[in-house]
């Protein structure tokens, strides 16, 4: 009988419900009518959108010209994507970050990026992390609300 998640509709179309990453691949099906039969081969590509990213920092207080580590994470996406970092003037800091991509038992990915500064400057704040899918299309972004404390000013990350 086949997989109940496959449903042939009116006309030459097929819908797959409740897809999983394990459904990705090559398929064939046979169409048989009173006019004859035909075999069709097709490929299913599965995608899942990442959750909205979250920016955090382990440090309780970040001092201007001091060390700082910023973290950005997003989960539930497929295939594996990436995270990019930008400051308030839209300078891309991604080359200074490290990305970890972890695939769960369900096949979905969690992305975690760490942006480290030996000496952070409050003028760079706030920072944004942008989640990009495997096609480099933006799926979400977060802007930091962490404070950088300095002698003369207070800036928000």
Is residue 142 classed as helix, strand or coil in its secondary structure? strand
Domain with CATH 2.60.40.10 in the chain: 54-150
Tokens of residue 116, six digits: 């480290």
Instruction: Write the pLDDT tens digit of every residue in 63-113.
Output: 899 999 999 999 999 999 999 999 999 999 999 999 999 999 999 999 999
* Average pLDDT value over all residues in the chain: 88
Query: What pTM value is reported for the model?
Result: 0.79
142 in Cβ contact with 128 (< 8 Å): yes
Q: Helix %, strand %, coil % for the chain, to 5?
A: 5, 50, 45
Instruction: Write the pLDDT tens digit of every residue in 14-56.
Output: 677 788 899 899 988 888 888 888 888 888 889 999 999 999 9
Tell me the CATH number for domain 54-150. 2.60.40.10
H/E stretch holding 40: strand 36-44
């Amino acid at each position: 009988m086949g997989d109940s998640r496959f449903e042939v509709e009116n006309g030459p179309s097929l819908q797959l419900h409740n897809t999983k990453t394990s459904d990705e691949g090559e398929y064939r099906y046979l169409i048989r009518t009173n006019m004859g039969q035909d075999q069709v081969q097709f490929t299913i590509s599965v995608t899942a959108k990442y959750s909205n990213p979250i920016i955090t920092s382990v440090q309780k207080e970040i001092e201007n010209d001091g060390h700082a580590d910023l973290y950005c994470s997003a989960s539930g996406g497929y295939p594996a994507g990436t995270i990019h970092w930008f400051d308030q003037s839209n300078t891309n800091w991604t080359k200074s970050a490290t990305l970890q991509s972890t695939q769960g038992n369900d096949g979905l990915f969690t992305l975690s990026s760490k942006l480290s500064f030996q000496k952070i400057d409050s003028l760079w704040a706030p920072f944004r992390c942008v989640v990009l899918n495997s096609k480099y299309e933006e799926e979400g972004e977060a802007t930091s609300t962490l404070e950088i404390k300095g002698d003369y000013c207070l800036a928000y990350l």
